[in-house]
Structure 1
Amino acid sequence: MRLGVLDVGSNTVHLIVVDAHPGARPVPQASHKSVLRLMRYLEPDGAISAEGVEAIVAAIASAMEVARREGIEELLPMATSALREARNGEEVLARIEASTGVALRVLSGEDEGRLTFLAIRRWYGWSSGNILLFDIGGGSLEIAAGSDEYPEVAVSLPLGAGRTTVQFFPSDPPTPSQMLELRAHSRQVMRADALPLFADQPAYDHVVGSSKTIRSLARLAGSSRPGATGDIVTLRRSELKDWIPRLGQLPAEARQALPGITPDRTFQIVAGAIVLHSVMKLYDVEELEVSPWALREGILLRYLDGLG
């Protein structure tokens, strides 16, 4: 069965096409991505501007051309924090459906955490025990933990890499004081809205990071070692800390020359690094493993489970 997952996020509109059936690992066949950076289209009242709506519609229409060309049998379309929180979100969704025929399902922050956690559990297996997950998107940070397929606790915080870049970094590159302000804000939000929820969790057997932002930072500052099913990529907090001031001194355009920093992440990678370092420090994490699977794989797996 050929399936497509269309992910309308805060930074990109991303379509992945896979061949899959219940009980089997999804096999990627095609991918199409448009970089949007929706946070730059937000009006002062929190609505997405007319220009931003046009950009979303055009990106989805382009993705649907690829979906038709690839012959997908079922499309799983979803949207995350940017549309979830936009003041005119309902109007934008209606416009998207009228223009492209795509009816997006808007995930809650908790849904994002739960489905990403499902993908992580399937990737690492039952033997991985109690897992702590960090996932940094463009609009939000998801933290989840548990020892089952779905997490026992999951929380979504407004600390995504794109959102915090727009909020705290008016200059490029950011100033040291702007970076300090973001660090203090991140820790304040995490202490108030996340840390208490995890107080009763037992010790973690694995700490895992997912999302393109974390994978990019791991390529820059992490390391890898051979594993049973491929290389195991890890990122140490100390190595990440060393890179933050160096990243902060470079303008966004220059960061593209660094390993792992792709053009669609270059403008928000500094904020993502600060948020990741903050959450690792607050949860006393010295090192995390980087998962190749994240939210889109979780969407696929839940759909396939329903077929089974």
Structure 2
Amino acid sequence: MFAGIDLGTNNCRMLLGTPAGQGFHVLDSFSRVVRLGEGLYETGRLSAVAMDRAIASLSICAERARRWAADTGTGPLRLRAIATEACRQAENGAEFIALARERTGLPLEIINTREEAELAVESCASLIAKAERRALLFDIGGGSTEVAWVRVNCNGAAPELIGYLSLPVGVVTLSERCSQACYTEEGFAAVVETVAAMLRPFEAVHRIGQEIRQGGVLMVGTSGTVTTLAGVSLKLERYRRGLVDGFFMNRGAVEAALAEAKAMGRDGLSRHPCIGADRVDFVLPGCAIFAAIHELWQIPDLVVADRGLREGMLMRLMRNVRPERRGYGLA
């Protein structure tokens, strides 16, 4: 068995599975909003309350992983647990990691921005393979946004990371800085331009626009923002992963979904079955980040991915582990 735990700025997630064909069979999953990065933009530190929420969820993950390892006959468990932007930014990030390790027994570690981009690419490899030459992948997180420029290999080899960019903005940080501004046309446009200015140096280096004009480039989006817009576009009465993961949207569909999300207002967004009250404050900030990417890089098609770092960790663990190295990854 293999398990991946991803502690982000807003969510704590776990996925546990066994190898199956070219992928894996899910045995257990867990996701909870912990708001670890709440107040981080203002104070530069993780609050005691936020750390307690995160550790409580990590403890649930650890207990469930231990139970699977003890109660099933599927063999030993190999586990990896990572933390991302909130812990990278916080003055007390390393202190929190030490405390979480002590209380949960999990081998929690902070990963750098490059590995975060690599794991996102790994999780979406089967979707990236649908591109003819290149793929532009983005992952709008709670505290940061990762952008990966990827070469697609026609010989069946894994996609290659040409370059990556990590923006220090995500749905949580933007919601704390300018959530209300996003509800007006002028405010939304200002946020889009702010994000676009952060993206332009990456464009200048890699000349992605020129590659797009040559054709064969696919955009891949993996985040709650993009899956929400897919749900809006599909008119879902409840969120259905099977319909969203791998869903293709052309530019017209993307622009229509963005316009519909903006027109709903806060009350309409909170009532939408693919959003809800607990995520409503993050929708339009995420849409502003996505709109900046969408406007700067005029790629004809977007493929939506309901997958992320947990899936990337499992795929990497399954590929890299040797039989003699397998072992239970919890203290």
TM-score, with normalisation over the residues of structure 2? 0.80
In 2, are the aligned partners of 1:142 and 1:157 still within 8 Å (CA)? Answer: yes
* 1:185 aligned partner, one-letter code: T
Q: Choose from 109, 116, 123 the match for 1:119.
A: 123
Match of 1:152 among 142, 162, 177: 162
Matched, 1:221 2:206: no
Match of 2:55 in 1: 57
SS of the residue aligned with 2:13?
Answer: strand
2:44 is paired with a residue whose SS is coil
Moved more, 7-16 or 258-267: 258-267
Gap change, CA 1:243 and 1:123, over 3 Å in 2? closer
Structure 1 counterpart of 2:177: 167
After superposition, the Cα gap between the structure-2 partners of 1:102 and 1:14, relative to the gap in structure 1 and judged at 3 Å, is same
Distance 1:230 1:136, change over 3 A: closer
Aligned equivalents of 2:235, 2:300: Cα separation in 1: 14
Q: Aligned pair in 2 of structure 1 residues 190, 43: CA closer, same or farther (>3 Å)?
A: closer
Task: Give me the whole-angstrom Cα distance separating, in 2, the residues matched to 1:39 and 1:174.
Answer: 22
CA contact 1:115–1:150 (8 Å) conserved in 2: no
Alpha-carbon distance between aligned partners in 2 of 1:128 and 1:295, rounded to the nearest angstrom: 24
- The answer to whether the 8 Å contact 1:153/1:197 transfers is no
| Alignment of structure 1 residues 86-165 onto 2, 5 Å | 86-125=90-129, 128-147=132-151, 148=153, 149-165=159-175
Gaps of 5+ in 1: none
* CA spacing shift, 1:42–1:230, aligned 2, 3 Å: closer
Change (3 A) 1:146 1:176: closer
Give the residue type in structure 2 aligned to 1:160: G
Q: Distance in 2 between matches of 1:32 and 1:110?
A: 25
Size of the alignment, in residue pairs? Answer: 300
Question: How far apart, in 1, do the equivalents of 2:317 and 2:24 lie?
Answer: 12
173, 190, 194: which one aligns with 1:181: 190
Closer, same or farther: CA 253–54 of 1 in aligned 2, 3 Å: farther
Counterpart secondary structure, 1:117: helix
1:50 maps to amino acid = A
| Paired residues of 1:123 and 1:293 also in contact (CA < 8 A) | no
1:159-211 superposed Cα distances (whole Å, 9 cap, x missing partner): 3122211111257x83444323211211111123x222321674443221112
CA 1:275–1:170: 2 relative to 1, 3 Å: same
In 1, the alpha carbon distance for the partners of 2:130 and 2:233 equals 29
| Structure 1 contact 222–234 (Cα < 8 Å) conserved | no
Alpha-carbon deviation of 1:135?
1.4
Query: 1:118 & 1:212 partners in 2: Cα distance?
Result: 18
Higher relative contact order (CA 8 A, sep 6+): 2
Q: For residues 162 and 41 of structure 2, what CA distance do their matches in structure 1 show?
A: 36
1:68 is paired with a residue whose SS is: helix
Question: Secondary structure in 1 aligned to 2:299?
Answer: coil
TM-score under structure 1 length normalisation: 0.86
Q: Identity, % of aligned pairs?
A: 24
Q: Secondary structure at the match of 1:151?
A: strand
Alignment correspondent of 1:35? 33
Question: Counterpart of 1:285 in 2: which secondary structure?
Answer: coil
1:111 and 1:232 map into 2 onto residues whose CA distance is: 23
Moved more, 3-12 or 296-305: 296-305
Query: Structure 2: which 5+ runs fail to align?
Result: 70-75, 154-158, 237-242, 323-331
Give the C-alpha shift of residue 293 in structure 1: 3.3
Distance 1:260 1:230 in 2: 11
